[in-house]
């Protein structure tokens, strides 16, 4: 039987490349403190020797796991999926692995913050769009590794986000500019306490109403959970109002797409009867002709990954660095001017019931005919 073949070591790679073992270690961990020329030689030597660095062995030497953890409220959201896509690309380029913790309900959330598994299993933690309590912020501040807050502005902490308040304010202004004065807002159900964007976008909507001296009507703000039935009930609440909205601003494109489906299946023409505005620029928004506020979801993930890599690699980097990415409105066919309505006085006259009796009927009928002639001139 031939003798077992010895696996190549980091020292073998260093000898083949003509560099030190520490240079090989820094190169294979993706650190930026290696020259391009040395990196090229090390990578070529590693390929020739079929050498693969062990995460466990590297961790013993450097104290690093080579892994970045992500805390996400769900994996079923288009936005979270796009962020993870961009994040995985950035981490792959940096030679880092990705570990995802999905916290689907309040019990799982409490368990995560009680155990904080990322303390032992990752070099950094990214938190995607959680509306955290002060106690939860304090727990993460003491985690001992860099924490980057994604899709939210966390004052005094590393953050990558878009200006949700300003974007929602601009979207509401756009609807006002089309002539809408009764604007509904459909948000995600707030009882989960997960997404901070729900709160900030609602705030921007309210600010835009206030600057136009339009009253904030709580009846125009409805919440929906995931699913067609919940969205149908939310839309029904708005349409059953005595003075229903002529436009709806949905917190996300996923909600807006559900709203469009409900309206179209009910025979309500968009935008002739009701305009619909979303937020995200979901992959399906273009094909559904949905007006939306676009945010660069994949780029948010890439920027978050790059920031996490910087904080891991450079202990002197600013731990409260902020990256703010732009949004922009994309007008499409789901929004337009509000429908024209008949004058109130005419409607009131033509629908006023008249009690006919032998003494008053002719006189009242003549009076109503006179009013109809005056209101239709």
* Helix 55-62 with 21-28: angle, nearest 10 deg: 120
Q: Would you state the pLDDT for residue 191? A: 60
Return the CA Rg of the chain.
Answer: 30
Q: What is the pLDDT of residues 192-238, one digit of tens each?
A: 445 778 889 999 999 999 999 999 999 999 999 877 899 999 999 99
Mean pLDDT of the chain: 84
β-strands 275-280, 247-250 pairing: parallel
Q: Would you state the pLDDT for residue 357? A: 37
Buried b vs exposed e over 148-187: b needs ≥16 C-beta within 10 Å? bbbbbbbeebbbbbbbbbebbbbbbbbbbebebebbbbbb
Calculated CA dihedral for residues 225, 230, 231, 235, nearest 10 degrees:
-120
80-89, 125-134, 212-221, 242-251: which range is least confident on average?
125-134
Return the higher-pLDDT residue of 111 and 6.
Answer: 111
With tokens 């409260």, the residue in question is 320
Q: With 90 as the cut, is the pLDDT of residue 56 above it?
A: no
The number of helices, as runs of H, and strands, as runs of E, in the chain is: 15, 12
Q: What is the pLDDT of residues 25-40, one digit of tens each?
A: 777 766 667 888 888 8
Give the DSSP letter of residue 125. Answer: E
CB 149 within 8 A of CB 157: yes
CA angle 78, 323, 295 (to 5 degrees): 30
Q: What is the pLDDT of residues 71-91, one digit of tens each?
A: 998 888 899 999 999 999 999
pTM for this model (two decimals) = 0.75
Q: Would you state the pLDDT for residue 29? A: 66
C-alpha 142/C-alpha 119 separation (Å) is 9
**Cα separation values, 303 from 101, 150, 325, Å:** 20, 9, 9
**Domains present along the chain, CATH in parentheses:** 10-62 (1.10.260.40), 67-162+298-328 (3.40.50.2300), 164-296 (3.40.50.2300)
């Amino acid at each position: 039987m031939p003798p077992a073949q010895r696996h190549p070591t980091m020292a073998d790679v260093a000898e083949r490349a003509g560099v030190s073992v520490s240079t090989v270690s820094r190169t294979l961990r993706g650190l930026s403190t290696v020259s391009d020329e040395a990196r090229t030689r090390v990578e070529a030597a590693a390929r020739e020797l079929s050498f693969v660095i062990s995460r466990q062995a590297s961790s013993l030497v450097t104290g690093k796991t080579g892994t970045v953890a992500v805390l996400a409220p769900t994996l079923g959201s288009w936005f979270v999926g796009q962020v993870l896509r961009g994040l995985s690309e950035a981490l792959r380029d940096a030679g880092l692995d990705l570990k995802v913790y999905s916290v689907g309900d309040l019990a799982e959330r409490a368990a995560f913050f009680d155990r904080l598994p990322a303390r032992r299993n990752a070099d950094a933690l990214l938190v995607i769009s959680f509306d955290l309590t002060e106690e939860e912020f304090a727990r993460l501040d003491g985690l001992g590794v860099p924490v980057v807050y994604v899709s939210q502005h966390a004052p005094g902490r590393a953050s990558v986000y878009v200006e949700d308040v300003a974007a929602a304010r601009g979207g509401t202004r756009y609807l006002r500019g089309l002539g809408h004065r009764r604007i509904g807002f459909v948000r995600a159900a707030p009882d989960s306490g997960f997404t901070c964007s729900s709160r900030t976008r609602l705030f921007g909507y309210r600010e835009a109403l206030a600057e136009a001296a339009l009253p904030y009507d709580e009846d125009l703000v409805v919440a929906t959970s995931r699913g067609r039935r919940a969205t149908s009930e939310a839309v029904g609440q708005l349409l059953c109002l005595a003075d229903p909205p002529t436009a709806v601003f949905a917190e996300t494109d996923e909600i807006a797409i559900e709203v469009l489906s409900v309206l179209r299946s009910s025979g309500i023409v968009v935008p002739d009867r009701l305009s619909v505005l979303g937020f995200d620029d979901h992959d399906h928004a273009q094909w559904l002709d949905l007006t939306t506020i676009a945010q660069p979801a994949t780029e948010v993930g890439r920027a978050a990954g790059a920031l996490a890599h910087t904080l891991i690699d450079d202990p002197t980097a600013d731990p409260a660095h902020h990256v703010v990415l732009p949004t922009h409105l994309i007008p499409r066919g789901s929004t337009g001017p509000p429908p024209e309505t008949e004058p109130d006085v005419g409607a009131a006259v033509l629908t006023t019931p008249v009690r006919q009796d032998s003494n008053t009927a002719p006189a009242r009928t003549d009076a109503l005919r006179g009013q109809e002639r005056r209101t239709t001139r």
